[in-house]
Structure 1
Amino acid sequence: MPTPDETDHTTQVAAPPGGRLLAAAKRGAEHLLWARVAVQRRVEARRGHDVSRPVPTAVPPTAVLDSEVMWRTAVEQASRLRLPLHRDLPKNWDALGAVGAVLSLVDDGTRTARVMDAGSARYSPVLPWLRLYGLGSVPGSLLGINLEFGDEVRRDGVVFRHGDVTATGLPDGSLDAITCMSVIEHGVPIEAFLRESARVLRPGGILCVSTDYDQAPPDTAGRTAYGSEVRIFGPQEILELLAGAEACDLELVGDLSTSDSLSHRERPVHWKRVGLDYTFILLTFRRR
């Protein structure tokens, strides 16, 4: 059962995407997830397992999801690491890459890194996984923001509140890392998002972004989701995003300069709701 600090009296600011039944299902998944995290974290702390859990390595900080084998490998590693899986299994691929990047690039071993999940969902895996790795013991150091959120909600010490990824209201240089999983394709103004991310990251901090991608994007005309037209990024749009990030002093961690670096053999992601097949791309940037 939720602890007292997890009591939720949220009034949604935006209508729940997908309708009330889907919203109820997500709410149930959220409560089950955080109940598991709270119990597992306490049990593992007593046994010392949080110290022994290795940093995930299956997904590099910057990569294109090339095949079904790649996301299945990520799922297998997350399972071995005792991390609760996202029910949409391919989404564990970019989440594992983002968590690995946070732990390997900005965590100094003290588990005090300040991380914001931009466009967060309370049932998505990044913040629960970081909590299981021991982050979040410092009050307010794990934060999720979303325009759909209303009143502030806490889950096992993680804060979720209303917030705009292009205008967070956070102080300059106040974060060590930002994750943003499968959000920017839903009508986010990319330039404003990159500028705001660079502003709130400390020098050396990282931004991990994933999005829907295809080397030859399918036609999405007439398809809408989450209040905006469906968008699947193509290679040229990714190159434009990289240039925009560079202009904001965000340097790519990894290399997408080779001729085949933005290609993929398969389209291992299927979005049943809109009838599209495509893949994901994960990009990690370091603030200069």
Structure 2
Amino acid sequence: MKVLQDKSQISKARKELDRKGASHVDAPDSRLKSIMRKLGLVRGLTMGDILKSWDVHATLNFIEKHAEKSEPILDIGCYCSEIIASLHKVGYSNLTGADLNPNLKQMPYQGFIKYEVTNFLHTKFKNASFKVITAISVIEHDFNAKALLYETSRLLLPGGYFIASFDYWPEKIDTTGTRFFGMDWKIFSKKDVEEFVSLAVTYNLFPVGELNYTSKAAPIHCASKKYTFGWLVLEKK
């Protein structure tokens, strides 16, 4: 578990993604404009989100250290997600994206990435199908811990990894009544993450590395809330 501490980490991560040739952000939209595009309020498909540079960079770095280029990787909530395109750009060849959005046919690299319109909490993929499952800024929407952990554990190979980034603040922030993509929105607290990690263990998913919950600042502002991002890796035992 890592926590974004300040905005300088975002710009540094974007520079590293650019250096790797892994960057795949179509335009420097604000997060609000990106959300509006996803909701169909603004036309066109905008890949990625500059604010998620830190998450994407951390995820890409971890995968490059722990998964071979030919191993199967699944990105859940993949519509407009940069990570799946970034993985393709650095040479990963066995990629699948899952999302409920029927416009997945607009996603890039259609001939190289398999896209499935499906509820990622209840997929038809076979047991032990993937080495890595990624979820960049996904699980905070209509969060269902048990369903998520059950499906993740079912789909991962032994020794596989679940990598998730999410909205986070150490103390509880009330988001009641705020919805994105027609779904409830959750800003995870330290207690929320601790409970999620404890529950994950019962599904044979164990945290990788140290769990750092500390945040010195709230660099992210959205829907009148101030918070940051958390990044978590679980390993299937």
Contact 1:217 1:278 in 2 (8 A): no
Superposed CA RMSD in Å reads 1.7
Q: Does 1:78 align with 2:17?
A: yes
- Counterpart residue number, 1:49: none
Deviates more, 1:93-102 or 1:203-212: 93-102
Please list every run of 5 or more consecutive structure 1 residues that lacks an aligned counterpart in the other structure.
1-61
1:231-270 equivalences under 5 Å are: 231-256=186-211, 261-270=212-221
- Equivalent positions of 1:1-288 (< 5 A) are 62-86=1-25, 87=28, 88-107=49-68, 111-121=69-79, 123-136=80-93, 141-149=94-102, 155-256=110-211, 261-271=212-222, 274-288=223-237
Q: 1:244 to 1:277 in 2, by over 3 A?
A: same
The letter of the residue matching 2:54 is W
Normalised by the size of structure 1, how large is the TM-score?
Answer: 0.70
What is the CA–CA distance in structure 2 between the aligned matches of 1:217 and 1:73, rounded to whole Å? 28
Q: Is the 8 A contact 1:106 1:206 kept in 2?
A: no
Q: Structure 2 vs 1, CA of residues 244 and 118 (structure 1 numbering), >3 Å: closer, same or farther?
A: same
Partner Cα distance (1:81, 1:124) in 2: 18
Say if 1:83 and 1:129, in contact at 8 Å, map to a contact too.
Answer: yes
Cα 1:151/1:222, change in 2 over 3 Å: closer
Distance 2:130 2:84 in 1: 14
Q: Secondary structure at the match of 1:170?
A: coil
Three-state SS of the structure 1 residue aligned to 2:206 is strand
How much has 1:85 moved relative to structure 2? 4.5
Q: Tell me which residue corresponds to 2:44.
A: none
The whole-number CA distance in structure 2 between the counterparts of 1:264 and 1:156 is 41
In structure 1, what is the Cα distance between the partners aligned to 2:19 and 2:187? 32
Alignment length, in residue pairs?
Answer: 213
Give the 3 Å change call, closer, same or farther, for CA 81–230 of structure 1 in structure 2: same
SS in 2 for 1:255: coil
Whether the aligned pair in 2 keeps the contact of 1:152 and 1:162 (CA below 8 Å) is no
Q: Tell me if structure 2 keeps the 8 A contact 1:149–1:161.
A: no
Q: Separation in 1 of the partners of 2:7 and 2:60? A: 20
Say which one has the larger Rg: 1
- For the 8 Å contact 2:24–2:86, the answer to whether it is kept is no
Structure 2 residue aligned with 1:20:
none
For the residues of structure 2 that align with 1:64 and 1:168, how far apart are their CA atoms?
A: 30
Secondary structure at 1:194's aligned position in 2?
Answer: helix
Identical aligned pairs, as a percentage?
25
CA deviations 1:148-174 (Å, max 9, x no partner) are 236767624112221111111111111
Partner of 2:40: none
Task: Name the residue aligned to 2:33.
Answer: none
- Note the alpha carbon deviations across 1:54-102, whole angstroms, 9 max, x for none: xxxxxxxx31111112222211211221222534322011111111121
Please report how far the alpha carbon of residue 201 of structure 1 lies from its aligned counterpart in structure 2 after TM superposition: 0.7
Provide the TM-score with structure 2 as the length reference.
0.84
